[in-house]
Structure 1
């Protein structure tokens, strides 16, 4: 197979945390453009792997003293305490840094920020990556939702109301294994206002990390397809961050979709966050999601630069190994096109233009 064939179909990805690396000062936009030896994403490796774009998350990290050791994920069962909420003022400052980092990436020629599907499809042809700006955890938005319209004007088109720690809008699921996602109460009144305002502005609502009662509230309130940008199947890995069959059925009913998360702790049936993980577990999730959702409602949401992914992929330059595994599983080229990018374009067009 030629190199061009190994890079095709190009992949549009549901989630990455590259912007956080710029916020933290780990890397510069110029190094992402020119290539670097660490992390999961830079422009040369993206071109090599056929990563044409994706959702670029702006995320406010928890204080360093709240961080947990990755050794916790090697235990047969774990339940990591959630970090405390982040105050609004701090979140605003860091979110502004995130928008600035995204603009720096665009100015360096790494990404092209897009706000409609036609622009995404054009940008996916290169030379930059097509980017949807996403906020993961809405702490930078106050209870009156006043900031949301300004963020929308600056290119925001996708938002997750929570990460894992609680917010004024609702509660996320913890790093808990084994466990389902039915943990904690549903959306607050502010959370319900946030859903309605996202619907008005045509901002996609991301259900990844939201707990079960919050998920149900969004499903009841929203007039848009239900989407989880980087989540997996609870039936394959009993992790609190994964989606139950009931939730998957609700997503299918709204013609939404799920992007498979490559984080190994959410792929493996034993919940272990280990790089020495093959692709068989990922393929089991994919098979299950296709069975529950149909072939038009599944894609990928790698969590690159935010998780430990299977070493057979390693970083975005290893995505040809994922395509090879899909072909060996018997997926035909039409389905490959849908999984790699077509389904994301479909659901974004329906969300933003519907």
Structure 2
């Protein structure tokens, strides 16, 4: 861990998704690794004891439904997507009952506050279903992951569908926030025309890695114009163009360039962390020097001293104060 400031707010952690893959996040990290069913392909960095040791206080915890495609098994219809999201919601509630976390912001004796983020909106049946998820604590929704029935997404270009336009309008009416991460460019600007509030919980600059998984400069400016924050994701493929598995891991200095690019566009006060650590990848795909969650704070040492606290916690905390109701 860094001897300086530490990451206190992370806008993207797939906690319940990992639990449903068989990872026991209540274990110390070393013990989790010894019995991790995913260890053969990805070395874990996240467990609740590790997050406590690192100093993390708040995160967006995802409800992430995995679709079926040529690379992975998963849902094929709304019912399957909803079942995955409900199982993850139940997992968060069990952890809350056990004292590992508290759902929603505010004062709590629990060591970690978790705000629910839905990544990929297929679990939602339609606008009439939104109040159910809002009551459950979901305040941020990303309409896409890959393609969903609502929008084009990562590696699957396309606009908002008619159902997507209805959903985003309903999100605006309920004062919910749209997560632009994974949303294709055409779908993004469709949503912008509707006027919904936006963030990007875990996306790096497209100017540095030119794919539709990243955020263009114009998209970044628009997100900030709605009051949103840009969360940086710690995956080597989203930091260095052309990086593939088996290449040397990128450096933390390269990761810092992503922050510097955003800062030149919109100012340091609009940048935070959305690490996505253990979001389907392990240390093998993270910047060199990140071997456990606490190591992520080393990144802060490469930023201007005046910007570190904002990136570490304060910028996302400001967003929560302004947007939670």
* Range into which the TM-score falls when normalised by the shorter chain: 0.7 to 0.9
Task: State yes or no: 1:61 paired with 2:66.
Answer: yes
* Inter-partner Cα distance in structure 2 for 1:352 and 1:202: 9
Deviation at 1:19, TM superposition (A): 1.1
Q: Is the 8 A contact 1:239 1:271 kept in 2?
A: no
Deviation at 1:250, TM superposition (A): 1.7
After TM superposition, the structure 1 = structure 2 runs for residues 1-354 of structure 1, keeping only pairs within 5 Å, are 6=3, 8-24=5-21, 26-28=22-24, 30-31=26-27, 36-37=32-33, 39-63=44-68, 66-67=70-71, 86-114=76-104, 116=105, 119=106, 122-123=107-108, 127-142=110-125, 144-164=126-146, 166-174=147-155, 184-224=157-197, 226-273=198-245, 274=247, 276-306=249-279, 307=281, 308-326=285-303, 331-332=304-305, 334-353=306-325
Deviation at 1:348, TM superposition (A): 2.7
1:124-155 CA distance string (max 9 Å, x none): xx65211111111111112x322221111111
Tell me, what secondary structure is at the counterpart of 1:99?
helix
* Inter-partner Cα distance in structure 1 for 2:83 and 2:99: 25
Tell me, what secondary structure is at the counterpart of 1:185?
strand
Q: List runs of 5+ in structure 1 lacking aligned partners.
A: 69-82, 175-182
Q: Is the 8 A contact 1:6 1:323 kept in 2?
A: no
Q: Is the 8 A contact 1:34 1:44 kept in 2?
A: no
1:259-297 CA distance string (max 9 Å, x none): 001011001133334562211211111100001111221
Q: List runs of 5+ in structure 2 lacking aligned partners.
A: 37-43
Deviation at 1:94, TM superposition (A): 1.0
Residue 179 of structure 1 corresponds to none
Given the superposition, is the C-alpha separation of residues 41 and 207 from structure 1 closer, same or farther in structure 2, using an over 3 Å criterion?
same
Tell me, what secondary structure is at the counterpart of 1:231?
coil
Residue 178 of structure 1 corresponds to none
Q: RMSD over aligned Cα, in angstroms?
A: 2.4
Deviation at 1:184, TM superposition (A): 3.0
Tell me, what secondary structure is at the counterpart of 1:259?
strand
Please, which moves more after superposition, 310-319 or 277-286? 310-319
Q: How many residues align?
A: 311
Q: Is the 8 A contact 1:202 1:352 kept in 2?
A: no
Deviation at 1:51, TM superposition (A): 1.9
TM-score (norm 2): 0.87
* Inter-partner Cα distance in structure 2 for 1:10 and 1:127: 18
Tell me, what secondary structure is at the counterpart of 1:240?
coil
Tell me, what secondary structure is at the counterpart of 1:93?
helix
Given the superposition, is the C-alpha separation of residues 99 and 110 from structure 1 closer, same or farther in structure 2, using an over 3 Å criterion?
same
Given the superposition, is the C-alpha separation of residues 223 and 234 from structure 1 closer, same or farther in structure 2, using an over 3 Å criterion?
closer
TM-score (norm 1): 0.80
Given the superposition, is the C-alpha separation of residues 89 and 305 from structure 1 closer, same or farther in structure 2, using an over 3 Å criterion?
same
